[in-house]
Structure 1
Amino acid sequence: MVDSNYLFKDECYKIIGCCMDVHSNLGCGFLESVYQEALELEFIRNFVPYEMETPIDIHYKGVVLDKKYYSDFICYNDIILELKAVKSIEDIHVAQLMNYLKASGKKVGYLINFGSVSLQYKRFII
């Protein structure tokens, strides 16, 4: 049996390393879009496969709604990243990521905040 706490361990380690590199170079204070662009460059340099702004279908009683969620990144086809550039991670941010995971059927997600003095990140597994 696989311990779910270590699901995609190597991949997650590489992703967080890229995030740390971005934060150590840019620090806090930029818009989320700046961190997203810089992180994309780190993913390319570190051979992290990703999709950016991927639409996620939302199903309601068997019908796919016209409205979509758009995740900041899906890495390795399995790990959702939701980026923030805020003072601190709040419950509403957690709820957003949990909805992305539920709607996509993915098991692992990271909430990553570049807006604080040190990089904040939380891993979620469903």
Structure 2
Amino acid sequence: MFTQEGYDLMGAAFEVYNVLGYGMSEEIYQQSLEIELGLRKIPFLSKAGLQVRYKDQLLTTVYRPDLLTYNEIVVELKATQTLAPEHEAQLFNYMRISKKKVGYLINYGSSGELEWKRIVL
């Protein structure tokens, strides 16, 4: 499901990691990945608001995943030493609320290599 799109997304993510390395702030990686996605003509929305409902009532709180690529893939970026279960839970909630079936959790904070997970519902 969205396999080629995932490869294209991760190609851009790896390019950012190869250029910047690890240890910068999440916002630096966010902006750099947005530039790389644009250069590769990969469609995306940055920090698009996801409306949350409770029993058909719209809440005022809005979730904002880091990126939505191809209008189908939810992307959450991190710049931490290692991914934790709460990071996966955050991505899972974004996917559930947006009703998207594919998500990527990308961590730029790990030394040595880019850490990432693909989640399919």
Task: Tell me the TM-score range normalised by the shorter chain.
Answer: over 0.9
- Structure 2 equivalent of residue 38 of structure 1: 32
Equivalent pairs counted in the alignment come to: 120
Q: Identity over the aligned pairs, expressed in percent? A: 39
Q: Write the mapping of 1:47-126 to structure 2, written as runs, cut at 5 A.
A: 47-117=41-111, 118-126=113-121
Runs of 4+ in structure 1 over 6 Å off = none
- Structure 1 equivalent of residue 18 of structure 2: 24
**What's the offset of the Cα at 1:59?**
1.1
**What's the offset of the Cα at 1:108?**
0.4
Deviations for 1:5-40, whole angstroms, at most 9, x for unmatched residues? Answer: xx0011000000000000011011100000000000
**TM norm structure 1:** 0.94
Quote the Cα distance in structure 2 between the aligned partners of 1:108 and 1:60: 23
Which amino acid in structure 1 is aligned with residue 62 of structure 2? K
In structure 1, the gaps of 5 or more residues are 1-6
Quote the Cα distance in structure 1 between the aligned partners of 2:74 and 2:105: 9
Which amino acid in structure 1 is aligned with residue 54 of structure 2? Y
**What's the offset of the Cα at 1:60?**
0.5
Quote the Cα distance in structure 2 between the aligned partners of 1:109 and 1:55: 16
Which amino acid in structure 1 is aligned with residue 39 of structure 2? R
RMSD (CA atoms): 0.5
Which amino acid in structure 1 is aligned with residue 103 of structure 2? G
Which amino acid in structure 2 is aligned with residue 59 of structure 1? R
- Structure 2 equivalent of residue 14 of structure 1: 8
SS in 2 for 1:115: coil
In structure 2, the gaps of 5 or more residues are none
Quote the Cα distance in structure 2 between the aligned partners of 1:125 and 1:46: 24
Which amino acid in structure 2 is aligned with residue 71 of structure 1? P
